[in-house]
């Protein structure tokens, strides 16, 4: 141990004895914070690193089993699901989530997050309708600007969960997303959860379909058939045809992977017919 200048040995010894107590206090304090933050995540069965999409999916799974409409003879069903709804409202909101992680439930005392919940049919039919589609990216307010200004081509569907036309489009939008995978980023925005974002993009009817490319926005006005959506989207795709042969194939594939740009490869027979 090294003596501090101007301190007696007894003073230094006293300081040394305080360190384990202080360390224990700090560890206990941090553990309490971590424990508080983990409780909400554990309730939904997700990790602290869970995305908003992961949180929605976890909450929907709970809603379909815990909802009072599914448990009419359980007197505690309302209270349990009310708590689940509060947990979801906190974790889906960036500011509330940060306050909860820093201060636990005390950090939520002055917040005005929702205290109610929807019907069972809403969670079954309308809630998070695109969350299970890997080719479709659900964009929230905090992610939207970075995505559409990334330099990539985005085709975004602005919808409302209770909109019949939005539900009519959903199967086609899923197939369209699979068709465009690797060429166009296909996104959706829930305008019930992101009202300000939708208004700022001039969305007043649903669904509204907008293409974002290099700072420009183009609205789609055609019919909602998959082939029409593909034809419209391909107008914005810059593509070139490269003939591959044994002398360049490995180099071209390496360049393609490095660029992150999708490729469509067609294999042809010697007669020129497509074989795969």
Q: Do domains 9-125 and 136-234 have the same CATH topology?
A: no
Residue 185: what pLDDT? Answer: 96
CA 104 to chain centre: 23
The model's pTM: 0.71
pLDDT digits over 190-223, tens only? 999 899 999 999 999 999 999 999 899 999 999 9
User: What is the arithmetic mean of pLDDT over 250-262?
Assistant: 74
Residue 119 has pLDDT above 90, yes or no: yes
pLDDT digits over 48-60, tens only? 999 888 999 999 9
Residue 30: what pLDDT? Answer: 37
* Alpha-carbon gap, residue 208 to 156, rounded angstroms: 8
Which one is predicted more confidently, 30 or 136? 136
Residues of the chain with pLDDT > 70: what percent? 78
* Alpha-carbon gap, residue 217 to 235, rounded angstroms: 13
- Output the CA–CA distances (angstroms, integers) from residue 134 to 52, 91, 92, 130, 175, in the order listed: 14, 22, 20, 9, 12
* Alpha-carbon gap, residue 37 to 33, rounded angstroms: 6
Q: 9-125 domain in CATH 1.10.287.110?
A: yes
Residue 197: what pLDDT? Answer: 96
Lowest-confidence segment of 165-169, 179-183, 249-253 by average pLDDT? 249-253
3-state secondary structure the chain: CCCCCCCCHHHHHHHHHHHHHHHHHHHHHHHHHHHHHHHHHHHHCCCCCCCHHHHHHHHHHHHHHHCHHHCCCCCCHHHHHHHHHHHHHHHCCHHHHHHHHHHHHHHHCCCCCCCCCCCHHHHHHCCCCCCCCCCEEECCHHHHHHHHCCCCCEEEEEECCCCHHHHHHHHHHHHHHHHHCCCCEEEEEECCCCHHHHHHCCCCCCCEEEEEECCEEEECCCCCCHHHHHHHHHCCCCCCCCCCCCCCHHHHHHHHHHHCCCCCCCCECCCCCECC
* Alpha-carbon gap, residue 268 to 276, rounded angstroms: 7
User: What is the arithmetic mean of pLDDT over 93-113?
Assistant: 85
* Alpha-carbon gap, residue 193 to 208, rounded angstroms: 16
Strand partners, 211: 155, 218
Which one is predicted more confidently, 271 or 165? 165
Q: In the block, which residue shows the tokens 């439930």?
A: 105
274, 267 Cβ separation under 8 angstroms: yes
**What CATH architecture does domain 136-234 belong to?**
3-Layer(aba) Sandwich (3.40)
206, 165 Cβ separation under 8 angstroms: yes
Band (pLDDT 50/70/90 cuts) for residue 181 is: very high
- Structural domain boundaries of the chain? 9-125, 136-234, 240-276
Residue 29 has pLDDT above 50, yes or no: no
Question: 219 exposed, middle or buried (CB, 10 Å; 0-12, 13-18, 19+)?
Answer: exposed
User: What is the arithmetic mean of pLDDT over 251-270?
Assistant: 71
């Amino acid at each position: 141990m090294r003596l501090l200048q101007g301190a007696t040995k007894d003073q230094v010894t006293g300081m040394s004895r305080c360190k384990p107590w202080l360390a224990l206090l700090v560890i206990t304090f941090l553990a309490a914070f971590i424990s508080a933050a983990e409780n909400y995540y554990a309730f939904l069965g997700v990790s602290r690193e869970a995305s908003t999409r992961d949180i929605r999916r976890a909450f929907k799974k709970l809603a379909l089993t815990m909802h009072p409409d599914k448990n009419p003879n359980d007197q505690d069903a309302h209270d349990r699901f009310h708590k689940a709804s509060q947990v979801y409202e906190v974790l889906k909101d960036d500011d509330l989530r940060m306050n909860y992680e820093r201060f636990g439930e005390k950090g939520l005392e002055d917040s005005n997050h929702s205290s109610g919940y929807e019907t069972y049919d809403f969670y079954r039919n309308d809630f998070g309708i695109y969350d299970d589609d890997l080719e479709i990216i659900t964009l929230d307010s905090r992610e939207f600007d970075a995505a559409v200004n990334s330099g990539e081509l985005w085709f975004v569907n602005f919808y409302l969960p209770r909109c019949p036309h939005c539900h009519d489009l959903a199967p086609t939008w899923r197939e369209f997303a699979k068709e465009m995978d690797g060429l166009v980023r296909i996104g959706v925005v829930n305008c019930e959860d992101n009202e300000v974002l939708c208004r700022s993009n001039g969305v007043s009817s649903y669904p509204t379909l907008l293409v974002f490319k290099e700072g420009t926005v183009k609205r789609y006005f055609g019919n909602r058939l998959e082939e029409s959506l593909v034809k419209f989207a391909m107008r914005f795709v810059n593509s070139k045809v490269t003939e591959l042969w044994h002398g360049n194939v490995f180099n071209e594939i390496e360049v393609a992977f490095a660029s992150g740009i999708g490729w469509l490869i067609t294999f042809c027979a010697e007669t020129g017919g497509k074989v795969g």
